[in-house]
Every structure is written in C-alpha cells, then in structure tokens.
Amino acid sequence: MSETIFSKIINREIDADIVFEDEHCLAFRDVNPQAPLHVLVIPKKPIAMLAQADDDDGELLGHLMLVARRVARDEGYGDAFRLVMNNGEAVGQTVFHMHLHVLAGRGFQWPPG
C-alpha cells in the first residue's frame, strides 16, 4: 500500500488530535467533522480497504469496532452513535487506508447517502 495521510499521522509526520492509541490502532478527530463527534479509527496495519483485508485480520477488525465503541462512550455518546466504513472510491472512500468513522451528536437519516 502506498503512503497515505493516515500513515503519516501514525508515523507522527502530520499532527492530529488523537483521542485513543494502542499497539493496533489510532483514533483521532476528523479535520472536517460531519457531526459534533466525528472520530476516525484506523488500524496501524496498512490495509487499503475492507475488501483487501485478509481472513486473518478478523481479530483486528473486531478490535477496531470495540475501540469505536470505547471512543463513543468516552466522548459521551455511548448510547447513540453511527459507524461508517466506505469501501472504494465509488462509495466515497477518499483515503485508501481502511478507517471507521465514529459519528454522533446529531440526527442521522436512513438510508444514508
């Protein structure tokens, strides 16, 4: 996978407002928030998109979901939040380093998009 803005954040080449970090992932506030809470949860392992994750990545993918839950809870939105993961340019993925959007603090519509 080529270097992305997210890999530069992981490597501390670009500043970010980090709200959580462990050995597997990093969570930071989106610079263009779409809701009062808008945090991105990214794996430190370079995976471009969910479609390119291996079956062996199951534990990591589950961990990302649990970190998203923790971030929402820690930010005061543990009872109502939305997770979004885009997979491919055609559906809105703009950074090709897999990431979860954790969104909360306003009403959302269904279907999204």
**What are 17-33's pLDDT values in tens digits?**
999 999 999 999 999 99
Q: Where are the alpha helices (DSSP H) in the chain?
A: 5-10, 58-74
Q: Would you name the residues annotated as active-site residues?
A: 99
Distance CA 109, CA 90 (A): 20
Q: Which CATH number fits domain 5-104: 3.50.50.60, 3.30.428.10, 1.10.10.10, 3.40.50.1000?
A: 3.30.428.10
- Sign of the torsion angle spanned by Cα atoms 83, 32, 91, 67: negative
Q: pTM, whole model, 2 decimals?
A: 0.95
**What are 94-111's pLDDT values in tens digits?**
999 999 999 999 999 998
Distance CA 7, CA 17 (A): 15
DSSP bridge partners of 84: 101
